[in-house]
A and B are shown apart, each in its own frame.
Chain A
Amino acid sequence: RKEVEQDPGPFNVPEGATVAFNCTYSNSASQSFFWYRQDCRKEPKLLMSVYSSGNEDGRFTAQLNRASQYISLLIRDSKLSDSATYLCVVNGRPGGSYIPTFGRGTSLIVHP
């Protein structure tokens, strides 16, 4: 089982739709979780951290389920500009150092 797994998609949705991505992780000792966004041929950029209590930033909501070892990202009222790849990142601590592990990303295409 891969350490961090995501459905690569693409998720093809119309503007205004609500779309949700999940990400599962295998290391139960994982400490922290993030969603990054990567546009085509660009570098990844932090979208939001994921807290145990869940957190919301405008149209974006992130949630963590430690028992089932997955995190989710919900995007409401999708915009054309939301088209990108969304990377799930899990920080574990094998051997003492925090090692960030990236999923392969979920591609989102928002069309008019």
Chain B
Amino acid sequence: DTAVSQTPKYLVTQMGNDKSIKCEQNLGHDTMYWYKQDSKKFLKIMFSYNNKELIINETVPNRFSPKSPDKAHLNLHINSLELGDSAVYFCASSPQGHRDTDTQYFGPGTRLTVL
């Protein structure tokens, strides 16, 4: 009965590789997000999709590409991984992202380590 799930939970990989992280929510929410939390614990939004449409695209390298096959899924693909990509990546969802009162529900996070 997990609300927002992510796979994998841990990801260890070499520099230069390409990897994907998957996210699914079973809450029926319209909006999904990807956040990056670095070693200094700053949680920064990367992307947001509302009903499969990209609505927020913060300044992230082109190597990061989100894909939303349907409104319950938002995957994150990362090309040519770099050391600085090591972080915890959180997926989140909210009922309607364009409402300022929306609560966000976070997945458990994916801890990415690039060697």
Query: Do these two chains really belong together in a complex?
Result: yes
Where the two chains meet, the residues of A that have a C-beta atom closer than 8 Å to any C-beta of B are 31-32, 34, 42-46, 49, 85, 87, 91, 93, 97-102, 104-105
Asked whether any CB of chain A lies closer than 8 Å to the CB of B59, the reply is no
Is there an interface contact between A98 and B42, defined as CB atoms closer than 8 Å? Answer: no
Given contacts A97-B97, A98-B98, A99-B56, whether A46 and B103 have CB atoms under 8 Å apart is: yes
Asked whether any CB of chain A lies closer than 8 Å to the CB of B66, the reply is no
Q: What are 19 of the A-B contact pairs (CB < 8 Å)?
A: A31-B100, A43-B108, A43-B109, A44-B43, A44-B106, A45-B106, A85-B41, A87-B43, A91-B100, A93-B100, A97-B55, A97-B56, A97-B97, A98-B97, A98-B99, A98-B102, A99-B45, A99-B56, A99-B58
Chain A residues closer than 8 Å to B48, beta-carbon distance: 97
Chain B proximity of A98: nearest CB distance (Å): 5
| Chain A interface main SS type | strand
Task: State which of B97, B99, B108 has its C-beta within 8 Å of the C-beta of A42.
Answer: B108
Given contacts A42-B108, A43-B108, A44-B106, whether A100 and B101 have CB atoms under 8 Å apart is: no
